Structure 1
Amino acid sequence: MRRDKSEMEDDLRTEYDLKSLRVRKLGPGRKGFGGVTVRLEPDVAEIFPCADAVNEALRFLIRVTRDNQVASTAQVNNSNAADD
Protein backbone atom coordinates (compact mmCIF):
# COMPACT_ATOMS: atom_id res chain seq x y z
CA MET A 1 0.00 0.00 0.00
CA ARG A 2 1.47 3.31 -1.10
CA ARG A 3 0.97 6.50 0.80
CA ASP A 4 0.17 9.78 -0.82
CA LYS A 5 2.85 12.41 -0.66
CA SER A 6 0.59 14.56 1.51
CA GLU A 7 0.40 11.80 4.15
CA MET A 8 4.19 11.61 4.36
CA GLU A 9 4.81 15.29 5.03
CA ASP A 10 5.95 16.12 8.55
CA ASP A 11 4.92 19.08 10.64
CA LEU A 12 8.28 19.48 12.35
CA ARG A 13 9.42 22.83 13.61
CA THR A 14 12.27 24.44 11.73
CA GLU A 15 14.41 24.67 14.89
CA TYR A 16 14.65 20.88 15.20
CA ASP A 17 18.15 19.75 14.25
CA LEU A 18 17.61 16.25 12.88
CA LYS A 19 21.22 15.94 11.73
CA SER A 20 22.37 15.60 15.33
CA LEU A 21 20.13 12.59 16.00
CA ARG A 22 21.74 9.19 16.09
CA VAL A 23 19.43 6.66 14.53
CA ARG A 24 20.47 3.04 14.87
CA LYS A 25 19.53 0.35 12.43
CA LEU A 26 19.66 -3.24 13.52
CA GLY A 27 21.29 -6.00 11.54
CA PRO A 28 24.41 -6.51 9.46
CA GLY A 29 23.56 -3.73 6.99
CA ARG A 30 23.75 -0.99 9.61
CA LYS A 31 26.27 1.76 9.32
CA GLY A 32 28.43 2.95 12.17
CA PHE A 33 28.57 6.46 13.49
CA GLY A 34 32.06 7.81 13.03
CA GLY A 35 35.03 5.55 12.81
CA VAL A 36 35.89 2.30 11.18
CA THR A 37 34.87 -1.08 12.50
CA VAL A 38 37.32 -3.91 12.06
CA ARG A 39 36.35 -7.50 12.75
CA LEU A 40 39.07 -9.61 14.36
CA GLU A 41 39.34 -13.33 13.89
CA PRO A 42 38.43 -15.25 17.07
CA ASP A 43 41.99 -16.43 17.74
CA VAL A 44 43.27 -12.85 17.58
CA ALA A 45 40.35 -11.40 19.57
CA GLU A 46 40.94 -13.76 22.50
CA ILE A 47 44.41 -12.24 23.02
CA PHE A 48 43.14 -8.68 23.51
CA PRO A 49 40.84 -7.74 26.40
CA CYS A 50 39.46 -4.59 24.74
CA ALA A 51 39.67 -2.25 21.75
CA ASP A 52 42.22 -0.04 23.53
CA ALA A 53 44.61 -3.00 23.85
CA VAL A 54 44.32 -3.70 20.12
CA ASN A 55 44.99 -0.04 19.27
CA GLU A 56 47.98 0.09 21.61
CA ALA A 57 49.50 -3.03 20.04
CA LEU A 58 48.94 -1.73 16.51
CA ARG A 59 50.46 1.66 17.35
CA PHE A 60 53.50 -0.10 18.79
CA LEU A 61 53.82 -2.17 15.61
CA ILE A 62 53.56 0.97 13.49
CA ARG A 63 56.34 2.67 15.51
CA VAL A 64 58.62 -0.37 15.24
CA THR A 65 58.00 -0.66 11.51
CA ARG A 66 58.71 3.05 10.94
CA ASP A 67 61.85 2.94 13.10
CA ASN A 68 63.13 -0.08 11.16
CA GLN A 69 62.43 1.62 7.84
CA VAL A 70 64.34 4.72 8.96
CA ALA A 71 67.24 2.58 10.19
CA SER A 72 67.29 0.59 6.94
CA THR A 73 67.26 3.76 4.86
CA ALA A 74 70.09 5.24 6.92
CA GLN A 75 72.11 2.03 6.59
CA VAL A 76 71.64 1.99 2.80
CA ASN A 77 72.63 5.66 2.58
CA ASN A 78 75.77 5.04 4.68
CA SER A 79 76.65 2.05 2.50
CA ASN A 80 76.24 4.10 -0.68
CA ALA A 81 78.36 6.91 0.76
CA ALA A 82 81.15 4.44 1.65
CA ASP A 83 81.12 3.10 -1.92
CA ASP A 84 81.76 6.60 -3.34
Structure 2
Amino acid sequence: MKKEVENEMEDELSTEYDFAQMQGGVRGKYVERYRTGTNLVLLDPDVAQAFPNDAAVNEALRLLIQIAQRQQPSTAMGRTE
Protein backbone atom coordinates (compact mmCIF):
# COMPACT_ATOMS: atom_id res chain seq x y z
CA MET A 1 0.00 0.00 0.00
CA LYS A 2 2.84 2.40 0.83
CA LYS A 3 4.41 2.00 -2.62
CA GLU A 4 1.12 2.96 -4.26
CA VAL A 5 1.03 6.22 -2.29
CA GLU A 6 4.64 7.02 -3.17
CA ASN A 7 3.96 6.41 -6.87
CA GLU A 8 0.91 8.67 -6.77
CA MET A 9 2.96 11.46 -5.22
CA GLU A 10 5.73 11.04 -7.78
CA ASP A 11 3.21 11.33 -10.60
CA GLU A 12 1.85 14.61 -9.23
CA LEU A 13 5.20 16.41 -9.32
CA SER A 14 5.91 18.51 -12.36
CA THR A 15 9.03 17.73 -14.37
CA GLU A 16 10.69 21.01 -13.33
CA TYR A 17 10.87 19.69 -9.75
CA ASP A 18 13.67 17.22 -10.35
CA PHE A 19 15.41 17.40 -6.99
CA ALA A 20 17.97 14.80 -8.04
CA GLN A 21 19.53 17.41 -10.33
CA MET A 22 19.83 20.04 -7.59
CA GLN A 23 23.21 20.35 -5.95
CA GLY A 24 24.44 22.27 -2.95
CA GLY A 25 21.15 22.36 -1.11
CA VAL A 26 21.32 22.38 2.67
CA ARG A 27 18.39 21.07 4.67
CA GLY A 28 17.25 23.57 7.30
CA LYS A 29 19.58 26.32 6.08
CA TYR A 30 17.17 29.10 7.00
CA VAL A 31 15.31 27.45 9.87
CA GLU A 32 16.82 29.67 12.59
CA ARG A 33 16.06 32.85 10.64
CA TYR A 34 12.50 31.63 10.14
CA ARG A 35 12.02 30.80 13.81
CA THR A 36 13.20 34.22 15.00
CA GLY A 37 10.63 35.99 12.83
CA THR A 38 7.75 33.63 13.51
CA ASN A 39 5.60 32.97 16.52
CA LEU A 40 3.19 30.16 15.78
CA VAL A 41 0.57 29.20 18.32
CA LEU A 42 -1.68 26.17 18.08
CA LEU A 43 -5.24 26.99 19.12
CA ASP A 44 -7.54 24.37 20.57
CA PRO A 45 -10.37 23.55 18.14
CA ASP A 46 -13.06 25.25 20.24
CA VAL A 47 -11.04 28.46 20.39
CA ALA A 48 -10.19 28.35 16.68
CA GLN A 49 -13.90 28.16 15.82
CA ALA A 50 -14.43 31.55 17.42
CA PHE A 51 -11.97 33.27 15.07
CA PRO A 52 -12.30 33.28 11.27
CA ASN A 53 -8.65 34.26 10.65
CA ASP A 54 -5.40 35.45 12.19
CA ALA A 55 -6.46 39.10 12.04
CA ALA A 56 -9.43 38.35 14.30
CA VAL A 57 -7.19 36.59 16.81
CA ASN A 58 -4.75 39.51 16.83
CA GLU A 59 -7.57 42.03 17.30
CA ALA A 60 -9.00 40.08 20.24
CA LEU A 61 -5.58 39.76 21.89
CA ARG A 62 -4.88 43.49 21.44
CA LEU A 63 -8.19 44.32 23.12
CA LEU A 64 -7.33 41.97 25.97
CA ILE A 65 -3.93 43.67 26.36
CA GLN A 66 -5.64 47.09 26.54
CA ILE A 67 -8.05 45.87 29.22
CA ALA A 68 -5.21 44.35 31.22
CA GLN A 69 -3.17 47.56 30.99
CA ARG A 70 -6.12 49.61 32.26
CA GLN A 71 -6.38 47.32 35.28
CA GLN A 72 -2.69 47.52 36.21
CA PRO A 73 -2.51 51.12 37.54
CA SER A 74 -5.20 50.62 40.17
CA THR A 75 -3.62 47.43 41.52
CA ALA A 76 -0.05 48.69 41.19
CA MET A 77 -0.73 51.68 43.46
CA GLY A 78 -1.95 49.46 46.26
CA ARG A 79 -5.63 50.18 45.79
CA THR A 80 -8.06 47.37 46.20
CA GLU A 81 -11.53 47.75 44.80
TM-score, normalised via structure 1 length: 0.48
Q: Give 1 or 2: higher helix fraction.
A: 2
- RCO (CA 8 Å, sep 6+): is it higher in 1 or 2? 1
TM-score, normalised via structure 2 length: 0.50
